Amino acid sequence: MRPGAAQRPQDPPPPPAAPPELAAIRSVELLDFDRVPGTAAGRGAPGSMLLLHGFGDDKTALRSIGDALCPDGAVAVYPALRAHGDSPAPAWGYSPLEFAADVQRIADSLPRPVHVVGHSYGALVAALIGVCLGPERIASVALLDQAFEPLMERYKADEWAEASFLKWHYDYSHLIDALGFLGIPVLSVIARESTVVPEGERTRMLSRRTAGFSCVLTEGGHTSFLRDSAVELLADFYRSAFGKPKLETRT
């Protein structure tokens, strides 16, 4: 627990769920993740949620969003990305594709379909998972303050050099087009005071007019908007895209 953080009430036991099938393969290391039941206070998501944090955060970073939006009868799943928390930290293998593959390895234990929310680098992973698993498993994708166009001047040759190079050297904006082609609703949220999404890309995202895609500019910085406006923006998105929430029954 972070210093000064309020102690969270103990969670009720999660709904019964089979572990990922690959857990039986001893040579395969799987992500650490929490599976938290939704509550009656959830007021926006039409079903279960998969919430993916960004670099340097942990699996609890989006917990307040899941607590607010995941409804009774559903579950919110919070993985720790590779090299974060108790998840595996291989010496190499830090392409966005490999981060997404980690999530795919536990996907057979996720509810179907699931609403994916990703913040920062987790948003790129969320888009890849949406395209990879398709509309049968992914109901919607929310991308919270992440750039998808290449920007090599942001590359840093530090301890995350491989991840930085493979993120900023390549263009991932076509993933948003692919999600639209698949019929998966997409929300992009850009924080006004954040510099993560460059001005040119910000303008292009806000002017994008494709079916099933919406982009919102909100007040706040890269992380502060998660606390201040993200829940309401997501709730509005779910109401607009899905109307009255309807829970899935298959896990």
Distance from C-alpha of 83 to C-alpha of 94, rounded to nearest angstrom: 9
Give the total number of structural domains in the chain.
1
Is 54 within a domain? Answer: yes
6 domain-assigned = no
64 Cα distance to chain centroid: 14
Domain that includes residue 181, residue range: 21-242
Structure tokens at 234: 């997501």
* pTM for the full predicted model: 0.89
Residue at 13 is within a domain: no
The per-residue pLDDT string of the chain (251 residues; one tens digit each, 9 = 90 and over) reads 334 444 445 555 555 577 898 888 887 899 999 999 998 565 689 999 999 999 999 999 999 999 999 999 999 999 999 999 999 999 999 999 999 999 999 999 999 999 999 999 999 999 999 999 999 999 999 999 999 999 999 999 999 999 999 999 999 999 999 999 999 999 999 999 999 999 999 999 999 988 899 999 999 999 999 999 999 999 999 999 998 654 444 44
Rg (CA), the chain: 17
Q: What Å distances lie between residue 33 and 44, 79, 165, 242, CA to CA? A: 23, 4, 27, 27
Return the bridge partners of 71, or none.
Answer: 39
Query: Vertex 138, ends 132 and 143: CA angle to 5°?
Result: 85
Residue 151 lies in a domain: yes
Q: How many CB atoms lie within 10 A of CB 63?
A: 17
**Helix segments in 63-170, DSSP class H:** 63-69, 96-105, 121-133, 161-168
How far apart are alpha carbons 234 and 189 in whole angstroms? 9
Look at residue 15 and tell me if it is in a domain: no
CATH assignment at residue 119: 3.40.50.1820
Q: Is-contact 124 167, C-beta < 8 A?
A: yes
Q: Is 247 inside any structural domain?
A: no
Residue 40 lies in a domain: yes
Contact 216, 188 (CB under 8 A): yes
CB of 102 within 8 A of CB of 31? yes
Within a domain: 2: no
